[in-house]
Amino acid sequence: MDKIIIHGARRLKGRVKVSGSKNAALPILVASLLTDEECRLENVPELADIDTTIGFLKYIGKKIARKGHSVHIAPDGHLKPTAPYELVRKMRASILVTGPLLARLGYVRVSLPGGCAIGARPIDIHLDAFDKLGAKIQIKGGYVETRSRKLVGNRIHFRYPSVGATENTMLAAVLARGRTIIENAALEPEIADLADALNGMGADISGAGTDTVTIDGVEKLGGFNHRVIPDRIETATFMIAAAITRGSIVLENTRPAHVGAVCEKLMKAGISVKSQGTKIICKWVKNLKPVSIRTGVYPGFPTDVQAQWMALMALTQGRSSIGEDVFENRFMHVSELQRLGADLKVRGNRVAVKGVESMTGAPIMVSDLRAGAALVLAGLAAKGRTEISRIYHLDRGYEHLEKKFKKLGANIKRIHC
């Protein structure tokens, strides 16, 4: 298993190009199941989760060619209506194949999902939406079986604005008969990007990116030729890297509007953040002030940046509080940050942070994707040697992470053990 070794306490400086968004690319790749025509997706990051999705689509019935950041998808025989446990357990987003396969085949059997170990993560909102579209649902032997003759549009009110459920419902309703209205839909930019790709295929979706999405079903969809939006979580991670290492980083290929909440908190902490078109210039200028956060749905502070923010606050003089309101068990990085010397106390879904002057490198272990990013950031700031194991979690969602940090001046390397 690979490890990352960091010799920290170096200021990072330079330019970094942000990759395409993992969370936008995944549902758009899955959207190719809605058509027999060829599809092309650009700006796709090279990541383990993308490899898993491509393997999955090949299993279901697609021929896929990948060249750099470009993915070409063509049909390869009949679609299979099954998503087995061996494929789904690797990645929770695999549940997204339910929508398109149900719409096209009228039957789908998908293993209950796995993915990051950050809480129960049920799928009741997805299943309730399929029920409202007229599907019959059964859970048997760890599998969800969904069937329906022809889906029929309906008004669906989500009890919570789930990102995955909004995507899954859109992916089903585009081929349903009549109009579907999703109320209390998720607002995340990845939803609007999926809608753009689907509309490019001939779908009729309006309101994506607001809390009410209207989908008028169509008979048939064509292929897509789409470019994935930049990854806002990677963007935020590099901005925090500039702050935590007292450095100065120019981020290229970003959408500054997608990281508004993080920029606002960074500026409150005393970081200089300037945007120029698709660039963000992030610079440490003086000792940071503690700034508390609570995660929330977009445009609130992203749960996927909570761990990284905690690493930053751990080194900021004074007290702050980190609240996690999206997932119920997302503090697994706390014990590892404590190993580096952070002063953190978990109280329910809040962590009380008392900033320390410095942290010191130690062997630490990654528990999930974004926790891994936080540990790398902490290692970059800590004095001495940090050895990070179980970095396969990081490879799920950060493209060439150590190479990008190395280019910014970090003393970081990957070793194969």
Q: Which residues bind ligand UD1 (CB under 6 A)?
A: 23, 26, 92-93, 119-126, 160, 162-165, 186, 190, 303-304, 326-327
Shortest Å distance, C-beta 36 to ligand UD1: 26
Are 375 and 336 spatial neighbours (Cβ–Cβ below 8 Å)? yes
Give 122 or 363: the residue with its C-beta nearer to ligand UD1: 122
Shortest Å distance, C-beta 326 to ligand UD1: 5
Shortest Å distance, C-beta 303 to ligand UD1: 5
Shortest Å distance, C-beta 47 to ligand UD1: 11
- If you count DSSP H runs as helices and E runs as strands, how many of each does the chain have, helices first? 14, 24
- Angle value at C-alpha 47, between 42 and 52, nearest 5 degrees: 95
- Angle value at C-alpha 395, between 394 and 399, nearest 5 degrees: 105
Shortest Å distance, C-beta 104 to ligand UD1: 22
| Catalytic site includes residue 116 | yes
Are 405 and 374 spatial neighbours (Cβ–Cβ below 8 Å)? no
Token readout for 57 is 């689509």
Which member of 116, 263, 282, 417 is catalytic?
A: 116
Give 195 or 408: the residue with its C-beta nearer to ligand UD1: 195
Distance CA 171, CA 211 (A): 17
Are 249 and 14 spatial neighbours (Cβ–Cβ below 8 Å)? yes
Q: How many CB atoms lie within 10 A of CB 348?
A: 9
Give 256 or 397: the residue with its C-beta nearer to ligand UD1: 397
Residue 279 gets which letter from DSSP? E
Are 197 and 211 spatial neighbours (Cβ–Cβ below 8 Å)? no
Are 364 and 342 spatial neighbours (Cβ–Cβ below 8 Å)? no
Q: How many CB atoms lie within 10 A of CB 371?
A: 29
Give 165 or 351: the residue with its C-beta nearer to ligand UD1: 165
Give 124 or 183: the residue with its C-beta nearer to ligand UD1: 124
Q: Catalytic positions, please?
A: 116
